[in-house]
Amino acid sequence: MTTTETIAAEASVLAQTYAPLPVVLTAGRGVWVRDVEGREYLDALAGYSALNFGHTHPLLVAAAEQQLRRLTLTSRAFHNDRLAGFATRLARLCGKDRVLPMNTGAEAVETAIKVARKWAYTRRGLPDGRARIIVAEGNFHGRTTTIVGFSTDPAARTGFGPYDGGFDVVPFGDAAALEAAVTPTTAAVLVEPIQGEAGVIVPPPGYLAAVREICDRRGLLLLADEVQSGLGRTGHTFACDAEEVVPDIYILGKALGGGVLPVSAVVADHEVLGVLGVGEHGSTFGGNPLACAVGEAVVSLLEPGDIQAHVRRLSPVLEDGLARFEALGVLRHRVRGLWAGFDLDPRVASGRRFCEELQHHGVLAKDTHGATVRLAPPLVIDEEELVLLLERVESALLALRRS
């Protein structure tokens, strides 16, 4: 079918919870994708960082193909021969000793919330049902009813109550406000090291270290949602590494499945994850052999540190390129590794309109919150491709200014 026919067919049967760009993709390799009519695009979204290693990475595809022929699912009612290897290598990558595998990022966040509450009751002695968790304004941790209950985005939150109520919201990047919100029943702090959905919002230097110090001093768990920011995106294995901060719980997803299938995990030490007993949490597909095979291959790509170094080397190219566009209508930009957000002068274009124009120049990106555009190309992008990406962003800006 053509692009128009495919989009019409989708609209006739799908719930309208997305408004995709008008492109229908059919193939991809590395940083490049192709649509049903043969046009090629540079993918500057990478599945919201789920495709950190690019489309159809040969190591990840081979791991999936080999496992597909052997065994795909056992449930956790039985052991499988892939889970221990995956969990051991992932725990080592995180510097922890326990892993709880799940499927999606939202599931992993929900799991971490449950763990933090159970830890507060069994380790700290808080009264059952009283534990509270501090979260940040502008957060995006998923779309379950628990999570949207503490969202500050009306589009995510409105119309889905009643809500849990066990969360206290403070401004992102404000350590003093966070500490002021701590009460005797506070159990944990849940935070994204960098807020991706909000527009790649980077906190002030020292913020994460200050949060870690507050948690240590007040006896709280620090839960780091590294679903988008982790696994190489910022030039470090985890975004927390930039401030040498080690959270009590790593929440991982997206790139952990290599863009092949959903894989997520909560990673912590036994002192924390050990609060869960048999039957208190689980997932039919969590830790399935296929997920473990792909997840272990992902960890093997990160263990040497080469891809993180590659990202750090290219980050200044992205930073310098976006800085040049201030005269073309980019009001502000933020860059960490190969992850950027930039805010457009609304007189030039909305974020959506810019992404539509950028598509005509052969690049796919995603807007958020009106005037903000996010760039997150696969980490395997080379310098020549990154320069081409920036040139096409510039061409799109120039075209919009002329229109």
What CA–CA distance (Å, rounded) separates 93 from 299?
Answer: 7
Mean pLDDT of 114-140: 97
Is residue 90 located within the same domain as residue 119?
yes
Is residue 316 located within the same domain as residue 290?
no
Taking only the tens place, the pLDDT of each residue in 2-56 is 999 999 999 999 999 999 999 999 999 999 999 999 999 999 999 999 999 999 9
| Residue 92: predicted pLDDT | 98
Is residue 166 located within the same domain as residue 240?
yes
Residue 14 within any structural domain of the chain: no
Q: Which of 86, 140, 167, 325 is catalytic?
A: 140
Is position 140 annotated as part of the catalytic site?
yes
Residue 210 within any structural domain of the chain: yes
Report which DSSP code applies to 201.
B
Is residue 285 located within the same domain as residue 315?
no
What CA–CA distance (Å, rounded) separates 280 from 275?
Answer: 10
Residue-range definition of the domain harbouring residue 368:
305-351+358-378
Residue 295 within any structural domain of the chain: yes
Does residue 164 register a pLDDT over 90?
Answer: no
Percent of the chain with pLDDT over 70: 100
The structure tokens listed for 39 are 């046009």
Does residue 78 register a pLDDT over 90?
Answer: yes
pTM assigned to the model: 0.97
Q: Which of 254, 325, 342, 367 is catalytic?
A: 254
CB atoms within 10 A of CB 243: 17
Is residue 284 located within the same domain as residue 339?
no
| Residue 6: predicted pLDDT | 97
Contact 139, 126 (CB under 8 A): no
Q: Which of 43, 118, 150, 225 is catalytic?
A: 225
Residue 218 within any structural domain of the chain: yes
Percent of the chain with pLDDT over 90: 99
| Residue 118: predicted pLDDT | 98
Is residue 281 located within the same domain as residue 327?
no
What CA–CA distance (Å, rounded) separates 200 from 342?
Answer: 8
The structure tokens listed for 139 are 């957060």
Taking only the tens place, the pLDDT of each residue in 89-104 is 999 999 999 999 999 9
Residue 371 within any structural domain of the chain: yes
Which is it for strands 186-191 and 221-225: parallel, antiparallel or unpaired? parallel
Nearest one of 199, 139, 228, 192 to 367, comparing CA atoms? 199
Q: Residue 167: in which H helix or E strand, if any?
A: strand 167-170
CA 110 to chain centre: 15
Contact 60, 300 (CB under 8 A): no
| Residue 256: predicted pLDDT | 98
Sheet with 330-336: strands ordered across:
330-336, 339-344, 372-375, 366-368
Does residue 403 register a pLDDT over 90?
Answer: no
CATH code, domain with 226: 3.40.640.10
Q: Which of the four pLDDT bands, split at 50, 70 and 90, describes residue 80? A: very high
Is residue 249 located within the same domain as residue 337?
no
Is position 150 annotated as part of the catalytic site?
no
What CA–CA distance (Å, rounded) separates 151 from 26?
Answer: 34
Taking only the tens place, the pLDDT of each residue in 245-277 is 999 999 999 999 999 999 999 999 999 999 999
CB atoms within 10 A of CB 328: 16
Residue 397 within any structural domain of the chain: no
Q: What 3-state class would DSSP assign to 354?
A: helix
Cα angle 17-19-22, degrees, rounded to a multiple of 5 = 145
The structure tokens listed for 118 are 């159970």
Structural domain count, the chain: 2
What CA–CA distance (Å, rounded) separates 190 from 206?
Answer: 17
Which is it for strands 32-35 and 339-344: parallel, antiparallel or unpaired? unpaired
Is residue 321 located within the same domain as residue 219?
no
Sheet with 264-268: strands ordered across:
98-102, 264-268, 249-252, 221-225, 186-191, 132-136, 167-170
Is position 172 annotated as part of the catalytic site?
no
Does residue 383 register a pLDDT over 90?
Answer: yes
CATH code, domain with 363: 3.90.1150.10
| Residue 125: predicted pLDDT | 96
What CA–CA distance (Å, rounded) separates 257 from 84?
Answer: 17
Is residue 169 located within the same domain as residue 86?
yes
Residue 49 within any structural domain of the chain: no
Instruction: Please give the single-letter amino acid code of residue 235.
Output: G
Is residue 290 located within the same domain as residue 315?
no
Residue 183 within any structural domain of the chain: yes
Beta bridge partners of 55: 30
What CA–CA distance (Å, rounded) separates 280 from 95?
Answer: 25
What CA–CA distance (Å, rounded) separates 153 from 156?
Answer: 5
Is residue 272 located within the same domain as residue 313?
no
Is residue 236 located within the same domain as residue 326?
no
